[in-house]
Amino acid sequence: MKSFHCSCGQRLFFESTDCVACGRVLGFDPESRQLLSFAPGKGPNLQSAHGGWFRHCRNRPDYGACNWLLPADGQPGYCAACRLNDVVPDLTRPGNLLLWQRLELAKRRLIYSLTGLGFTAMPRFRFLEDQQRNPDVADAVVVTGHADGVITINIAEADDASRHAVREQMFERYRTLLGHFRHECGHFVFPYLVSTPESLAGFRELFGDERAPYAEALQAYYEAGPSPDWQATHVSAYASAHPVEDWAESFAHYLHITDALETAAAFGMAGATAGSSADWISEWGQLSVMLNEMNRSLGIDDAYPFVIAAPVVRRLQFIHRLAGSAG
């Protein structure tokens, strides 16, 4: 993520809604990819210091669930990110508003990354609750996943306690809401990025054959676990389950790494972002070691508990080449 500043000079963040130093109201303009600051005023229209007129997305005054802007002269209502929602949680249920706000934040970060790569096609989103959380809903079980351009997230994944419980149960060292969005987005972008005979041949050489029976592979993975040497070949244990899961996991890591490198560069801590450095993966390797040590100094889990083995490097470089020609 890049770095933002208020017109008063205060450092701001992608999530910021108000400047803590000067009180200006803030909003993110997805067109210019800038966080804009506005003097507090009356009425729905906001004039930025650069002259443009904007409005807040409706989900901001209604639910505090969005900090994005729309042009004041366009259709009022929802921003480019909120318009992608097909189903949002039942907000009359206690606790659901907080979970939905977290889901929206992770989703906006995903959309920021996708548009940064030049994508114009966007997934749609369904945020669903199942009977394990709410006995009154229709779905007994909601599985987080992607199908036909729609990403479904079980909203329990936005609940820290539930997500940690699943993480323990699955012996995972990393399970985050943003990670889910990025993984499912990997499935979404596959047909856009692997769209030519050449890219499909490249994919099969690096990831395997996507036509391999899927249900059987997943069943074998859940019954017998990953192959013992998966760390030498895959970015995560789950990536070793099937080539399409390897792709989705690798794409998620591509977004983790490129976002983190952009952040590090914005803070003067990395020489380059993925777009400008030939050796961005080894730069990330060094940075992630430091990041993990920092976390241990603070008594918290490793931020990036992964080792990027040589075959994984080749897959990430392949995704980078394809993503560079997206859009």
Binding site for Zn ion (CB under 5 A): 6, 8, 10, 19, 21-22, 24, 57, 59, 66, 68, 79, 82, 245, 248
Which of 61/118 has CB closer to Zn ion? 61
- Tell me the torsion sign for CA atoms 87, 93, 96, 97: positive
Tokens of 233: 């070949």
Which of 111/117 has CB closer to Zn ion? 111
SS3 152: strand
CB of 18 to Zn ion, least distance (A): 9
CB of 83 to Zn ion, least distance (A): 8
CB of 238 to Zn ion, least distance (A): 8
Distance (Å, whole) CA 38 – CA 18: 9
CB of 249 to Zn ion, least distance (A): 8
Cα–Cα nearest to 193, from 322, 321, 314: 322
CB of 226 to Zn ion, least distance (A): 15
Which of 10/231 has CB closer to Zn ion? 10
Tokens of 234: 């895959």
Q: List CB contacts of 9: < 8 A, sequence separation 6 or more.
A: 21
Distance (Å, whole) CA 100 – CA 135: 19
CB of 289 to Zn ion, least distance (A): 28
CB of 277 to Zn ion, least distance (A): 29
Which of 237/270 has CB closer to Zn ion? 237
The CA-atom distances, in angstroms, between 227 and each of 79, 138, 171, 230 are 44, 37, 14, 6
Q: Where are the alpha helices (DSSP H) in the chain?
A: 59-63, 96-116, 160-169, 177-193, 197-207, 214-224, 243-266, 280-297, 310-324
Which of 68/125 has CB closer to Zn ion? 68
Cα–Cα nearest to 100, from 80, 135, 127: 127
Which of 48/59 has CB closer to Zn ion? 59
Which of 183/287 has CB closer to Zn ion? 183
Distance (Å, whole) CA 234 – CA 249: 9
